[in-house]
Amino acid sequence: MDAQINLFHALADPARLRIVEAMKAGECSVGDIVERMDIHQSGVSRHLRILAEAGIVQMRPEGQKRLYSLRQEAFDQLEAWVAGYRRHWEARLDRFGAALERGQANPDNKTEETS
């Protein structure tokens, strides 16, 4: 549960979420991200550190640069978390739909509004 909390906490910041969006296309250096966003280099580095600590991004050195990319495992965790709730709500919506169908099949069970 702590890993999920860290994951959601890291993504809760709008700047970090924009950084993740910017990285969807592939690896980025800090400089690439600075060019795309209105954040200073030190701010981008701080946000990337937080994203890395949460397991959302990974870094690999290439010469003088550090290239960052998204970690699929983090998004697999998010998807699994959402899937648990999706199953919960789909089951409820299925029951609701069945109740509506039963109501349409038995129109005599209408409730009358009282004025």
Compute the distance between CA of residue 90 and CA of residue 112 in angstroms, rounded to an integer: 30
CATH topology of domain 2-71: Arc Repressor Mutant, subunit A (1.10.10)
More confident position, 8 or 110: 8
- In tens, the pLDDT along 24-66 reads 999 999 999 999 998 999 999 999 999 999 999 999 999 999 9
Compute the distance between CA of residue 15 and CA of residue 43 in angstroms, rounded to an integer: 9
Q: What is the pTM of this model?
A: 0.73
- Contact indicator for 30, 48 with CB cutoff of 8 Å: yes
Confidence label for 111 from pLDDT (cuts 50, 70 and 90): low
How do the domains of the chain map onto residue ranges?
Answer: 2-71, 74-105
More confident position, 31 or 107: 31
- In tens, the pLDDT along 1-18 reads 788 899 999 999 999 999
Is 60 exceeded by the pLDDT of residue 112? no
The values of phi and psi at residue 69, to 5°, are -140, 160
Compute the distance between CA of residue 103 and CA of residue 108 in angstroms, rounded to an integer: 9
Specify the pLDDT at position 86: 81
- In tens, the pLDDT along 57-97 reads 999 999 999 999 999 999 999 998 888 888 778 777 778 87
